[in-house]
Amino acid sequence: MTTNTTIGNNGATVSQTLLDTMNGSNGASSATGSTGGTGGTSPADLQNTFLQLLVAQLKNQDPTNPMDSSQMTSQLAQISTVQGIGQLNTSLSSLAAQLTAGQQSQAALLIGSSVLTPGSSIAVASGKANAFGVTLANDVSDLQVVVKNSAGTIVNTIDLGKQSAGTIPVGWTPTDSAGNTLPDGTYTITATGTINGQPATATTLTSSTVESVVTQTSGAAGLVLSNGSTVDLTSIAAIL
Q: Quick one: pLDDT at residue 67? A: 63
Of the two residues 77 and 120, the one the predictor is more confident about is 120
pLDDT digits (tens, 9 = 90+) for 55-92: 777 777 777 776 666 766 676 677 677 667 777 777 77
Q: Which of 69-73, 136-140, 172-176 has the lowest mean pLDDT?
A: 69-73
Within 10 angstroms of residue 82's Cβ, the number of other Cβ atoms is 18
Q: Quick one: pLDDT at residue 103? A: 74
pLDDT beyond 90 at 6: no
Average model confidence (pLDDT) for the chain? 79
The end-to-end CA distance of the chain, in Å, is: 69
Determine if the pTM surpasses 0.85. Answer: no
pLDDT digits (tens, 9 = 90+) for 11-46: 545 455 555 554 555 444 444 444 444 445 566 676
Q: Which of 28-32, 48-52, 128-132, 216-220 has the lowest mean pLDDT?
A: 28-32
pLDDT beyond 50 at 123: yes
What percentage of the chain has pLDDT greater than the value 90? 42
CATH class of 114-207: mainly beta
Q: Quick one: pLDDT at residue 207? A: 94
Q: Quick one: pLDDT at residue 91? A: 76
Q: Quick one: pLDDT at residue 104? A: 76
Q: Quick one: pLDDT at residue 142? A: 93
Q: Quick one: pLDDT at residue 240? A: 87
pLDDT digits (tens, 9 = 90+) for 157-172: 999 999 999 999 998 9
Q: Quick one: pLDDT at residue 128? A: 92
pLDDT digits (tens, 9 = 90+) for 186-203: 999 999 999 888 888 899
Chain region(s) in the chain for CATH 2.60.40.4070: 114-207
Q: Quick one: pLDDT at residue 68? A: 64
